[in-house]
Protein backbone atom coordinates (compact mmCIF):
# COMPACT_ATOMS: atom_id res chain seq x y z
CA UNK A 1 0.00 0.00 0.00
CA UNK A 2 1.10 3.56 -0.66
CA UNK A 3 -0.12 7.13 -0.34
CA UNK A 4 -0.35 8.05 -4.03
CA UNK A 5 -4.09 8.11 -4.66
CA UNK A 6 -6.56 9.94 -6.88
CA UNK A 7 -8.83 12.60 -5.45
CA UNK A 8 -11.33 12.98 -8.24
CA UNK A 9 -9.19 13.18 -11.37
CA UNK A 10 -5.99 14.39 -9.67
CA UNK A 11 -3.23 12.22 -8.25
CA UNK A 12 -2.24 13.25 -4.74
CA UNK A 13 0.59 12.30 -2.41
CA UNK A 14 -0.80 12.12 1.10
CA UNK A 15 -2.70 15.43 1.50
CA UNK A 16 -1.15 17.34 -1.41
CA UNK A 17 -2.02 17.51 -5.10
CA UNK A 18 1.09 16.50 -7.04
CA UNK A 19 0.26 19.06 -9.74
CA UNK A 20 0.67 21.84 -7.16
CA UNK A 21 4.09 20.52 -6.15
CA UNK A 22 5.20 20.34 -9.79
CA UNK A 23 4.16 23.95 -10.34
CA UNK A 24 6.52 25.07 -7.57
CA UNK A 25 9.41 22.63 -7.99
CA UNK A 26 9.42 22.08 -11.76
CA UNK A 27 9.91 18.75 -13.50
CA UNK A 28 11.25 16.14 -13.45
CA UNK A 29 11.56 15.26 -9.76
CA UNK A 30 11.39 12.30 -7.43
CA UNK A 31 8.55 12.42 -4.93
CA UNK A 32 8.43 10.36 -1.72
CA UNK A 33 5.69 9.84 0.84
CA UNK A 34 6.89 10.17 4.44
CA UNK A 35 3.86 8.27 5.70
CA UNK A 36 4.45 5.34 3.34
CA UNK A 37 8.17 5.16 4.15
CA UNK A 38 7.51 5.13 7.87
CA UNK A 39 4.66 2.63 7.62
CA UNK A 40 6.63 0.23 5.42
CA UNK A 41 9.57 0.27 7.84
CA UNK A 42 7.32 -0.38 10.84
CA UNK A 43 5.50 -3.24 9.13
CA UNK A 44 8.81 -4.90 8.29
CA UNK A 45 10.29 -4.32 11.74
CA UNK A 46 7.14 -5.52 13.52
CA UNK A 47 7.19 -8.75 11.52
CA UNK A 48 10.29 -9.79 13.51
CA UNK A 49 8.88 -8.78 16.92
CA UNK A 50 9.84 -11.21 19.65
CA UNK A 51 13.17 -12.03 18.00
CA UNK A 52 16.38 -10.12 18.69
CA UNK A 53 17.00 -8.30 15.43
CA UNK A 54 18.28 -5.14 13.73
CA UNK A 55 16.71 -3.77 10.55
CA UNK A 56 19.58 -2.20 8.62
CA UNK A 57 18.08 -0.36 5.66
CA UNK A 58 20.05 -0.90 2.44
CA UNK A 59 21.28 2.60 1.61
CA UNK A 60 21.99 1.58 -1.98
CA UNK A 61 18.23 1.57 -2.65
CA UNK A 62 17.74 5.21 -1.64
CA UNK A 63 20.55 7.07 0.09
CA UNK A 64 19.04 10.53 0.56
CA UNK A 65 19.93 11.55 4.11
CA UNK A 66 16.34 12.62 4.86
CA UNK A 67 15.09 9.17 3.86
CA UNK A 68 17.78 7.50 5.97
CA UNK A 69 16.82 9.75 8.87
CA UNK A 70 13.24 8.46 8.81
CA UNK A 71 14.40 4.89 9.43
CA UNK A 72 17.05 5.88 11.96
CA UNK A 73 14.35 7.68 13.99
CA UNK A 74 12.40 4.41 13.94
CA UNK A 75 15.35 2.61 15.55
CA UNK A 76 16.84 1.20 12.37
CA UNK A 77 20.42 0.77 11.28
CA UNK A 78 22.01 1.05 7.85
CA UNK A 79 23.54 -1.47 5.44
CA UNK A 80 26.33 0.22 3.48
CA UNK A 81 28.55 -0.76 0.55
CA UNK A 82 30.92 2.23 0.34
CA UNK A 83 32.63 4.95 2.31
CA UNK A 84 30.21 7.43 0.80
CA UNK A 85 27.23 5.51 2.16
CA UNK A 86 28.93 5.39 5.57
CA UNK A 87 29.34 9.17 5.44
CA UNK A 88 25.67 9.57 4.57
CA UNK A 89 24.55 7.21 7.33
CA UNK A 90 26.58 8.99 9.99
CA UNK A 91 25.46 12.41 8.73
CA UNK A 92 21.85 11.24 9.02
CA UNK A 93 22.48 10.30 12.66
CA UNK A 94 22.91 6.53 12.43
CA UNK A 95 24.31 4.67 15.43
CA UNK A 96 27.64 3.20 14.21
CA UNK A 97 26.77 0.13 16.27
CA UNK A 98 23.91 -0.50 13.85
CA UNK A 99 25.90 -0.17 10.62
CA UNK A 100 26.98 -3.22 8.61
CA UNK A 101 29.44 -2.92 5.72
CA UNK A 102 29.06 -5.25 2.73
CA UNK A 103 30.53 -5.18 -0.79
CA UNK A 104 33.29 -6.98 -2.67
CA UNK A 105 35.61 -4.01 -3.24
CA UNK A 106 36.27 -2.19 0.02
CA UNK A 107 39.22 0.20 -0.37
CA UNK A 108 41.80 0.69 2.38
CA UNK A 109 40.61 4.23 3.10
CA UNK A 110 37.04 2.97 3.37
CA UNK A 111 38.05 0.15 5.72
CA UNK A 112 39.93 2.65 7.89
CA UNK A 113 36.90 4.96 7.95
CA UNK A 114 34.65 2.12 9.08
CA UNK A 115 37.12 0.92 11.72
CA UNK A 116 37.57 4.38 13.24
CA UNK A 117 33.80 4.95 13.14
CA UNK A 118 33.17 1.81 15.19
CA UNK A 119 30.68 0.03 12.93
CA UNK A 120 28.94 -3.14 14.06
CA UNK A 121 30.14 -5.56 11.40
CA UNK A 122 32.17 -6.03 8.24
CA UNK A 123 30.61 -8.58 5.89
CA UNK A 124 33.81 -9.94 4.37
CA UNK A 125 33.68 -11.29 0.83
CA UNK A 126 37.10 -12.89 0.20
CA UNK A 127 40.22 -14.23 1.96
CA UNK A 128 42.20 -11.30 0.51
CA UNK A 129 39.79 -8.86 2.13
CA UNK A 130 40.19 -10.69 5.45
CA UNK A 131 43.93 -10.13 5.31
CA UNK A 132 43.50 -6.46 4.43
CA UNK A 133 41.07 -5.80 7.29
CA UNK A 134 43.44 -7.59 9.68
CA UNK A 135 46.34 -5.41 8.53
CA UNK A 136 44.38 -2.16 8.81
CA UNK A 137 42.92 -3.08 12.21
CA UNK A 138 46.41 -3.89 13.52
CA UNK A 139 47.82 -0.63 12.13
CA UNK A 140 45.02 1.39 13.75
CA UNK A 141 45.08 -0.54 17.02
CA UNK A 142 41.53 -1.78 16.49
CA UNK A 143 39.70 -5.08 16.56
CA UNK A 144 37.36 -5.57 13.61
CA UNK A 145 34.05 -7.36 14.13
CA UNK A 146 33.50 -9.54 11.08
CA UNK A 147 31.16 -11.99 9.42
CA UNK A 148 31.95 -13.87 6.24
CA UNK A 149 29.44 -13.35 3.48
CA UNK A 150 28.56 -16.85 2.38
CA UNK A 151 27.54 -17.67 -1.17
CA UNK A 152 25.06 -20.53 -0.66
CA UNK A 153 24.61 -21.30 -4.39
CA UNK A 154 20.86 -20.64 -4.25
CA UNK A 155 18.94 -19.39 -7.28
CA UNK A 156 16.87 -16.35 -6.23
CA UNK A 157 14.82 -16.56 -9.46
CA UNK A 158 15.26 -12.91 -10.30
CA UNK A 159 16.93 -10.84 -13.03
CA UNK A 160 20.49 -12.11 -13.69
CA UNK A 161 21.99 -8.66 -13.04
CA UNK A 162 20.66 -8.66 -9.46
CA UNK A 163 21.26 -12.31 -8.61
CA UNK A 164 24.04 -12.52 -6.01
CA UNK A 165 23.82 -15.97 -4.40
CA UNK A 166 24.94 -18.32 -7.18
CA UNK A 167 28.45 -19.76 -7.55
CA UNK A 168 28.87 -17.87 -10.81
CA UNK A 169 28.28 -14.50 -9.08
CA UNK A 170 31.14 -12.35 -7.77
CA UNK A 171 29.76 -12.15 -4.25
CA UNK A 172 30.74 -13.97 -1.09
CA UNK A 173 32.70 -17.07 -0.19
CA UNK A 174 31.66 -20.47 -1.51
CA UNK A 175 29.78 -22.31 1.22
CA UNK A 176 31.83 -25.42 0.43
CA UNK A 177 34.99 -23.64 1.62
CA UNK A 178 33.40 -21.53 4.34
CA UNK A 179 34.60 -23.52 7.36
CA UNK A 180 38.23 -23.30 6.27
CA UNK A 181 37.81 -19.57 5.58
CA UNK A 182 36.49 -19.09 9.13
CA UNK A 183 39.41 -21.08 10.53
CA UNK A 184 41.78 -18.78 8.66
CA UNK A 185 39.97 -15.73 10.07
CA UNK A 186 40.23 -17.15 13.59
CA UNK A 187 44.03 -17.13 13.27
CA UNK A 188 44.09 -13.37 12.66
CA UNK A 189 44.44 -11.58 16.02
CA UNK A 190 42.76 -8.29 15.13
CA UNK A 191 39.58 -9.90 13.87
CA UNK A 192 36.60 -10.73 16.07
CA UNK A 193 34.42 -13.37 14.41
CA UNK A 194 30.88 -12.51 15.45
CA UNK A 195 28.60 -13.50 12.58
CA UNK A 196 27.59 -15.24 9.39
CA UNK A 197 26.18 -13.29 6.46
CA UNK A 198 24.32 -14.03 3.24
CA UNK A 199 22.51 -12.07 0.52
CA UNK A 200 21.10 -13.98 -2.44
CA UNK A 201 19.71 -11.24 -4.68
CA UNK A 202 17.19 -8.46 -5.20
CA UNK A 203 13.52 -8.32 -6.21
CA UNK A 204 12.99 -11.88 -4.97
CA UNK A 205 9.27 -12.70 -5.11
CA UNK A 206 9.18 -16.12 -3.43
CA UNK A 207 9.97 -17.24 0.10
CA UNK A 208 11.57 -20.52 -0.93
CA UNK A 209 14.99 -19.15 -2.01
CA UNK A 210 15.37 -17.40 1.35
CA UNK A 211 14.41 -20.59 3.17
CA UNK A 212 16.85 -22.65 1.11
CA UNK A 213 19.68 -20.25 1.89
CA UNK A 214 18.89 -20.14 5.61
CA UNK A 215 18.80 -23.94 5.75
CA UNK A 216 22.40 -24.04 4.51
CA UNK A 217 23.46 -21.29 6.92
CA UNK A 218 21.94 -23.18 9.87
CA UNK A 219 24.29 -26.07 9.28
CA UNK A 220 27.27 -23.73 9.00
CA UNK A 221 26.46 -21.79 12.19
CA UNK A 222 26.23 -25.01 14.19
CA UNK A 223 29.50 -26.29 12.73
CA UNK A 224 31.32 -23.06 13.57
CA UNK A 225 30.05 -23.13 17.14
CA UNK A 226 31.27 -26.70 17.47
CA UNK A 227 34.71 -25.32 16.62
CA UNK A 228 34.44 -22.75 19.39
CA UNK A 229 33.46 -19.67 17.38
CA UNK A 230 31.04 -17.28 19.07
CA UNK A 231 28.52 -16.63 16.31
CA UNK A 232 26.18 -13.97 17.67
CA UNK A 233 24.83 -12.36 14.49
CA UNK A 234 23.12 -13.93 11.50
CA UNK A 235 22.86 -11.42 8.66
CA UNK A 236 20.21 -12.67 6.23
CA UNK A 237 20.62 -9.76 3.82
CA UNK A 238 17.70 -8.27 1.95
CA UNK A 239 16.12 -8.87 -1.42
CA UNK A 240 12.39 -9.09 -0.70
CA UNK A 241 10.59 -7.85 -3.81
CA UNK A 242 7.62 -5.59 -4.49
CA UNK A 243 4.78 -5.40 -6.98
CA UNK A 244 5.70 -3.43 -10.08
CA UNK A 245 3.24 -5.10 -12.44
CA UNK A 246 1.64 -8.42 -11.55
CA UNK A 247 4.20 -9.87 -9.14
CA UNK A 248 2.84 -11.31 -5.89
CA UNK A 249 5.78 -11.20 -3.48
CA UNK A 250 5.29 -12.41 0.07
CA UNK A 251 4.32 -9.83 2.64
CA UNK A 252 6.88 -9.10 5.36
CA UNK A 253 4.87 -11.16 7.85
CA UNK A 254 4.99 -14.24 5.62
CA UNK A 255 8.69 -13.70 4.90
CA UNK A 256 9.51 -13.26 8.59
CA UNK A 257 7.36 -16.20 9.65
CA UNK A 258 9.23 -18.58 7.36
CA UNK A 259 12.64 -17.36 8.51
CA UNK A 260 11.84 -17.20 12.21
CA UNK A 261 10.54 -20.77 12.21
CA UNK A 262 14.07 -21.84 11.25
CA UNK A 263 16.23 -19.21 12.96
CA UNK A 264 14.85 -19.06 16.50
CA UNK A 265 16.76 -22.07 17.80
CA UNK A 266 20.07 -20.60 16.58
CA UNK A 267 19.98 -17.98 19.35
CA UNK A 268 21.40 -15.26 17.10
CA UNK A 269 20.55 -11.61 16.67
CA UNK A 270 19.17 -11.41 13.15
CA UNK A 271 20.30 -8.62 10.85
CA UNK A 272 17.91 -7.80 8.00
CA UNK A 273 18.85 -5.52 5.10
CA UNK A 274 15.60 -4.50 3.36
CA UNK A 275 15.76 -1.83 0.69
CA UNK A 276 13.34 -1.99 -2.21
CA UNK A 277 10.51 -3.43 -0.08
CA UNK A 278 10.63 -0.32 2.14
CA UNK A 279 11.12 2.46 -0.41
CA UNK A 280 10.14 1.11 -3.84
CA UNK A 281 6.42 1.88 -3.76
CA UNK A 282 6.94 4.92 -1.52
CA UNK A 283 8.30 7.03 -4.37
CA UNK A 284 7.46 8.10 -7.92
CA UNK A 285 9.17 10.01 -10.70
CA UNK A 286 7.16 13.00 -11.91
CA UNK A 287 7.86 14.03 -15.48
CA UNK A 288 6.21 16.20 -18.14
CA UNK A 289 5.31 15.46 -21.75
CA UNK A 290 7.30 17.69 -24.09
CA UNK A 291 6.20 16.42 -27.50
CA UNK A 292 4.26 13.64 -29.15
CA UNK A 293 5.23 12.11 -32.46
CA UNK A 294 4.47 9.16 -34.70
CA UNK A 295 6.62 7.35 -37.22
CA UNK A 296 3.67 5.72 -38.91
CA UNK A 297 4.42 2.44 -37.13
CA UNK A 298 4.85 3.66 -33.58
CA UNK A 299 3.71 6.48 -31.28
CA UNK A 300 6.12 8.27 -28.98
CA UNK A 301 5.57 10.51 -25.99
CA UNK A 302 8.78 12.49 -25.42
CA UNK A 303 9.16 13.53 -21.78
CA UNK A 304 11.66 15.62 -19.84
CA UNK A 305 12.99 12.65 -17.81
CA UNK A 306 15.40 10.19 -19.35
CA UNK A 307 17.44 7.08 -18.72
CA UNK A 308 19.95 9.19 -16.83
CA UNK A 309 17.19 9.92 -14.29
CA UNK A 310 15.68 6.41 -14.10
CA UNK A 311 17.85 3.77 -15.72
CA UNK A 312 15.99 0.65 -14.56
CA UNK A 313 13.83 0.25 -17.71
CA UNK A 314 16.87 0.59 -19.98
CA UNK A 315 19.19 -1.54 -17.83
CA UNK A 316 16.85 -4.31 -16.66
CA UNK A 317 13.90 -3.88 -19.04
CA UNK A 318 11.97 -3.11 -15.87
CA UNK A 319 8.28 -2.29 -15.80
CA UNK A 320 7.00 0.87 -14.11
CA UNK A 321 3.31 1.67 -14.20
CA UNK A 322 2.47 4.94 -15.99
CA UNK A 323 -0.28 7.18 -14.63
CA UNK A 324 -1.68 10.62 -15.38
CA UNK A 325 -1.18 13.24 -12.72
CA UNK A 326 -4.40 14.86 -13.93
CA UNK A 327 -6.81 12.49 -15.68
CA UNK A 328 -8.84 13.78 -18.61
CA UNK A 329 -10.97 12.36 -21.39
CA UNK A 330 -8.59 12.11 -24.30
CA UNK A 331 -8.72 8.48 -25.29
CA UNK A 332 -5.97 5.89 -25.16
CA UNK A 333 -3.02 5.02 -27.39
CA UNK A 334 -0.25 2.47 -27.55
CA UNK A 335 3.06 4.28 -27.31
CA UNK A 336 6.60 4.40 -25.98
CA UNK A 337 7.49 6.96 -23.35
CA UNK A 338 10.99 8.16 -24.22
CA UNK A 339 13.41 10.73 -22.90
CA UNK A 340 15.79 13.32 -24.40
CA UNK A 341 18.93 11.13 -24.27
CA UNK A 342 20.63 10.40 -27.59
CA UNK A 343 20.18 6.62 -27.41
CA UNK A 344 17.40 4.37 -28.64
CA UNK A 345 17.56 2.62 -25.29
CA UNK A 346 16.34 5.78 -23.57
CA UNK A 347 12.82 4.86 -22.55
CA UNK A 348 10.62 4.66 -19.47
CA UNK A 349 7.90 2.48 -21.02
CA UNK A 350 7.57 0.60 -24.30
CA UNK A 351 4.57 -0.63 -26.32
CA UNK A 352 2.25 0.36 -23.52
CA UNK A 353 -1.43 1.24 -23.53
CA UNK A 354 -1.66 4.67 -21.93
CA UNK A 355 -3.65 7.89 -21.97
CA UNK A 356 -3.19 9.95 -25.12
CA UNK A 357 -0.82 12.38 -23.43
CA UNK A 358 -0.40 15.86 -24.88
CA UNK A 359 2.40 18.40 -24.55
CA UNK A 360 2.47 19.79 -21.01
CA UNK A 361 0.72 16.82 -19.38
CA UNK A 362 2.22 15.64 -16.10
CA UNK A 363 3.02 11.92 -15.87
CA UNK A 364 3.76 9.72 -12.86
CA UNK A 365 6.24 6.86 -13.24
CA UNK A 366 5.20 4.68 -10.34
CA UNK A 367 7.23 2.49 -7.96
CA UNK A 368 10.38 4.56 -8.47
CA UNK A 369 11.48 5.00 -4.87
CA UNK A 370 14.18 2.32 -5.03
CA UNK A 371 17.22 2.41 -7.32
CA UNK A 372 15.92 5.56 -8.95
CA UNK A 373 17.90 8.62 -7.94
CA UNK A 374 20.72 6.48 -6.51
CA UNK A 375 21.45 5.10 -10.00
CA UNK A 376 20.98 8.41 -11.82
CA UNK A 377 23.78 10.18 -13.67
CA UNK A 378 24.75 13.33 -15.54
CA UNK A 379 24.84 11.58 -18.91
CA UNK A 380 24.41 14.07 -21.78
CA UNK A 381 25.39 16.74 -19.21
CA UNK A 382 21.91 16.72 -17.73
CA UNK A 383 21.64 18.08 -14.18
CA UNK A 384 20.25 15.53 -11.76
CA UNK A 385 16.69 16.10 -10.64
CA UNK A 386 15.24 17.33 -7.36
CA UNK A 387 13.98 15.03 -4.61
CA UNK A 388 10.87 16.00 -2.65
CA UNK A 389 9.38 14.53 0.53
CA UNK A 390 5.69 14.98 1.38
CA UNK A 391 4.64 15.01 5.01
CA UNK A 392 0.89 15.31 5.32
CA UNK A 393 -0.10 18.61 3.71
CA UNK A 394 3.47 19.94 3.40
CA UNK A 395 6.33 19.18 1.05
CA UNK A 396 10.06 19.54 1.57
CA UNK A 397 12.76 19.71 -1.09
CA UNK A 398 15.28 17.22 0.31
CA UNK A 399 17.66 17.58 -2.62
CA UNK A 400 17.93 20.67 -4.78
CA UNK A 401 17.86 20.27 -8.54
CA UNK A 402 21.40 20.50 -9.90
CA UNK A 403 22.44 23.52 -11.95
CA UNK A 404 24.71 23.78 -14.97
CA UNK A 405 27.38 25.09 -12.61
CA UNK A 406 27.07 21.88 -10.59
CA UNK A 407 27.91 19.90 -13.73
CA UNK A 408 31.41 21.36 -13.97
CA UNK A 409 32.18 21.76 -10.28
CA UNK A 410 35.70 20.47 -9.71
CA UNK A 411 36.69 20.58 -13.38
CA UNK A 412 39.66 22.67 -14.47
CA UNK A 413 41.20 23.73 -17.77
CA UNK A 414 44.99 23.43 -17.32
CA UNK A 415 47.02 26.57 -18.06
CA UNK A 416 48.61 25.21 -21.24
CA UNK A 417 45.16 24.97 -22.84
CA UNK A 418 44.41 28.61 -22.03
CA UNK A 419 47.40 30.05 -23.85
CA UNK A 420 46.96 31.28 -27.41
Spatial neighbors of 252 by CB under 8 A, at least 6 apart, are: 43, 44, 47, 240, 277
Q: Point out the catalytic residue in the list 56, 198, 268, 342.
A: 342
Give yes or no: 342 in active site.
Answer: yes
Residues belonging to the active site: 342
Amino acid sequence: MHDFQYHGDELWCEELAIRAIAEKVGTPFYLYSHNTLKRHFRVFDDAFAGQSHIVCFAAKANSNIAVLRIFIREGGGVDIVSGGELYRALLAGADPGKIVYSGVGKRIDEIDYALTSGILLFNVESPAELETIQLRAKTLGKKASIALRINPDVDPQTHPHISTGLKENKFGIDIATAVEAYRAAARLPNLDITGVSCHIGSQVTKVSPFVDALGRLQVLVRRLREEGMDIRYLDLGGGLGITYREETPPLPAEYAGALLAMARDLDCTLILEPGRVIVGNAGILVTKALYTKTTGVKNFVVVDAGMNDLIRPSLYDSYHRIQSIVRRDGGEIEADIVGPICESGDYLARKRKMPAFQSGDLIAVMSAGAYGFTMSSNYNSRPRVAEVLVEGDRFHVIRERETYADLVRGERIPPFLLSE
